[in-house]
């Protein structure tokens, strides 16, 4: 178990594997950083690696996997095992996972209760289709909707967030009878052909006709957008921009809503809208947080034009923001459709659309089916995740540890010119790196990479995002400890000091 008072401190766990010598190289690399403290104690001993060695894995990746699948880091991390907030590579080096498998591991890698639920179900029934009754899908549907407010009572289980968003948009168009919809620039909702027009990040767009019927409204970004300042975000960290707003007000919100209405005025057929989809905090876009009150006013405008409102909770749901179970609750709104995935299965492939009975009825006009959606093992895993969130109070932990993390990151912003913005809520955090605070010019890719590589070498794995790839994405499993945060901050500080000294 990973608990305080472990029998010994394991800063670098080494194991004899087919990657001979790599463990000692990793240890030497970490020890080369002056002032790096000991990593928090952990009494888990990683299992030996018994698969292909690094060179063979890279050869297979080059020959048999698509070249468009990116590999993090100049020297990729070859992961062998995970437990709670930690990962081990094939050489036995331990890492603090601050990216959680792209915001997917919610309650911890290989959480014992979730593993036990999967194993139990695997011995009983792996798969049957939803044309038959089986207990787990009914148990899970009831369990999940108990977490939803209002009339969000009908669950369509899918296998991913992209599938969920695809389905949500289809349902919205069928329900309203309007094809044209709106999303926000800088938002990411999936990369399927259907969703590529919904996702408004050019780095994810191919030169192919896709996403017909979607308009992308101005992104309401209080840091990088034309309006915003120190009273705009529901976060312990505010943009370092001057602001005329009184505390508790956000004039920028109204200006961004005017831009949304302008899109409806000029680009929607007779002013009618099929759907509006948005994340409360844009994950892939670099943890950009919408201004206070934006969604409330945006939803009012959309509904006045006949549209339905979709909240993409793929990254922000299941208590990660700390203050609320669902991200949309932090903006005091009630969506018509909610999509979710990632943390829903703690890494097991699961997604869902939750909506009202009236909107759900649209899918009865033709046949609709998902072969693996509602799989018995997936539903057993999903229920166990919901139980762990409640039993281990991971939402409260996200609030407490997340606030502490953000406060410590703000100290780095005060210390280093390249730390332009710290933002987020709970354990959904972003750090934007810039050339200097005044210009907010994105830090050059090679400089971001240098800082990022150094933190990895010190045993801290962080994501990257944003249009320019200059935003550090910090979204760890919700079991992370204060000691893990302290070590991660120390590693980031050393990496930033090294960059400043160049």
For residue range 415-463, what is the model confidence (pLDDT) as tens digits? 999 999 999 999 999 999 999 999 999 999 999 999 999 999 999 999 9
- Coil, strand or helix: which one is 472? strand
pLDDT of residue 33: 87
Rounded-to-integer distance, Cα 350 and Cα 369, Å = 15
- Tell me, what's the pLDDT at 21? 40
pLDDT beyond 90 at 410: yes
Whole-number pLDDT of residue 32? 77
458 with 495: CB under 8 angstroms? yes
Same fold, 37-65+74-108+393-500 and 114-391: no
Q: Please tell me the predicted confidence (pLDDT) of residue 31.
A: 64
* Whether pLDDT at 497 is above 70: yes
Q: What is this structure's pTM?
A: 0.91
DSSP state of 220: -
Residue 402, pLDDT > 50, answer yes
Q: What is the mean pLDDT of residues 199-211?
A: 86
Which residue pairs from 298-306 have beta carbons closer than 8 angstroms and sit at least 24 positions apart in sequence?
298/257, 298/260, 299/333, 299/335, 301/257, 301/260, 301/261, 301/264, 302/182, 302/264, 302/273, 302/275, 302/276, 305/264, 305/268, 305/271, 305/272, 305/273, 306/176, 306/178, 306/272, 306/273
User: Mean pLDDT throughout 70-96?
Assistant: 94
Contact by Cβ (8 Å): 238, 231: yes
**What pLDDT score was predicted for residue 250?**
77
Tell me the average pLDDT across 336-352: 97
pLDDT for the residue numbered 20? 37
Summarize the confidence of residues 179-204 as an average pLDDT: 92
CA 240, CA 2: separation in Å to the nearest integer? Answer: 38
pLDDT classification of 10: cutoffs 50, 70, 90: very low
Q: Is the pLDDT of residue 28 over 60?
A: no
Q: Is 438 helix (H, G, I), strand (E, B) or coil?
A: coil
Percent of the chain with pLDDT over 90: 78
Q: What is the pLDDT of residue 135?
A: 93
Cα 452 off chain centre by: 18
Q: How confident is the model at residue 251 (pLDDT cuts 50, 70, 90)?
A: confident
Q: What is the pLDDT of residue 212?
A: 86
Q: Mean pLDDT in the chain?
A: 91
β-sheet with 351-355: strand ranges across: 154-158, 351-355, 337-340, 308-312, 275-278, 181-184, 214-217
Residue 362 reports pLDDT greater than 90? yes
Pick the CATH number of 37-65+74-108+393-500 from 3.30.70.600, 3.90.1150.10, 3.40.50.10610, 3.20.20.150: 3.90.1150.10
pLDDT category of residue 257 using cuts at 50, 70 and 90? very high
Is the pLDDT at 24 greater than 80? The verdict is no
Is residue 5 predicted with pLDDT exceeding 80? no
Mean predicted confidence (pLDDT) in 88-113: 96
Tell me the backbone φ, ψ of residue 422, rounded to 5 degrees.
-120, 135
Look at the alpha carbons of 95, 98, 104, 108 in this order and tell me if their dihedral is positive or negative.
Answer: positive
Is residue 98 over pLDDT 70?
yes
Cβ–Cβ under 8 Å, residues 477 and 89: no
Confidence of residue 323 (pLDDT cuts 50, 70, 90): very high
The correct CATH number of 114-391 out of 1.10.3720.10, 3.40.50.1110, 3.40.640.10, 3.20.20.10 is: 3.40.640.10
pLDDT at 240 over 90: no
What is the C-alpha to C-alpha distance for residues 171 and 45, in angstroms, rounded to an integer? 48
Two tokens, residue 432 = 């934007």
Sequence ranges of the domains in the chain: 37-65+74-108+393-500, 114-391
pLDDT of residue 27: 52
- CB of 109 within 8 A of CB of 87? yes
User: Sorting pLDDT into bands at 50, 70 and 90, what band is 222?
Assistant: very high
- What pLDDT score does 270 carry? 87
Contact present, 317 and 327 (Cβ < 8 Å)? yes
């Amino acid at each position: 178990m990973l608990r305080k008072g472990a029998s010994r401190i394991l800063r670098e766990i080494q194991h004899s594997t087919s990657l001979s010598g790599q463990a000692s190289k990793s240890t030497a690399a970490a020890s080369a950083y002056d002032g790096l403290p000991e990593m928090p104690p952990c009494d888990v001993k990683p299992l030996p690696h018994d698969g292909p060695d690094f060179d063979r894995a890279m050869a297979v990746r080059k020959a048999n996997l698509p070249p468009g699948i990116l590999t993090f880091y100049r020297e990729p991390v070859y992961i062998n095992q995970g437990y709670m907030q930690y990962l081990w590579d094939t050489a036995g080096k331990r890492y603090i996972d601050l990216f959680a498998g792209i915001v997917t591991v919610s309650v911890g890698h290989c959480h014992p209760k979730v593993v036990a639920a999967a194993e139990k179900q695997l011995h009983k029934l792996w798969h049957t289709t939803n044309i038959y009754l089986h207990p787990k899908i009914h148990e899970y549907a009831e369990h999940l909707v108990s977490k939803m407010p209002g009339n969000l009572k009908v669950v369509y289980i899918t296998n991913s967030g992209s599938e969920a968003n695809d389905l949500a948009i289809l349902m919205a168009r069928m329900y309203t009878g309007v094809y044209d919809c709106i999303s926000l620039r800088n938002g990411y909702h999936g990369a399927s052909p259907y969703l590529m027009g919904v996702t408004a990040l050019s780095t994810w767009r191919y030169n192919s006709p896709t996403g017909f019927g979607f308009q992308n409204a101005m992104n309401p970004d209080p840091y990088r957008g034309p309006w915003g300042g120190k009273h705009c975000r529901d976060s312990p960290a505010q943009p370092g921009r001057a602001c005329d707003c009184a505390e508790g007000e956000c004039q920028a919100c109204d200006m961004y809503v005017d831009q949304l209405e302008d899109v409806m005025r000029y680009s929607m057929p007779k002013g009618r809208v099929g759907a509006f989809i948005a994340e409360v905090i844009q994950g892939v876009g670099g943890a950009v947080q919408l201004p206070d009150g934006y969604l409330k006013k945006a939803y009012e405008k959309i509904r006045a034009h006949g549209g339905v409102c979709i909240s993409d909770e793929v990254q922000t749901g299941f208590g990660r923001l700390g203050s609320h179970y669902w991200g949309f609750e932090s903006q005091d709104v009630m969506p018509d459709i909610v999509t979710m995935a990632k943390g829903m299965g703690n890494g097991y492939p699961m997604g869902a659309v939750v909506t009202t009975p009236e909107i759900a009825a649209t899918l009865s006009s033709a046949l609709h089916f998902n072969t693996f959606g509602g799989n018995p093992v997936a539903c057993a895993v999903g229920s166990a995740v919901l139980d762990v969130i409640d039993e281990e109070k991971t939402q409260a932990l996200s609030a407490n540890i997340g606030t502490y993390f953000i406060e410590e990151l703000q100290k780095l912003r005060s210390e280093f010119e390249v730390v332009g913005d710290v933002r987020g809520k709970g354990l959904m955090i972003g750090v934007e790196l810039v050339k200097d605070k005044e210009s907010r010019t994105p830090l050059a890719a090679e400089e971001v990479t240098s800082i990022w590589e150094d933190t990895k070498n010190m045993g801290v794995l962080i994501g990257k995002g944003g249009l320019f790839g200059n935003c550090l994405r910090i979204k760890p499993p919700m079991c992370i400890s204060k000691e893990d945060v302290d070590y991660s901050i120390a590693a980031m500080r050393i990496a930033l000091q090294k960059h400043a000294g160049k």
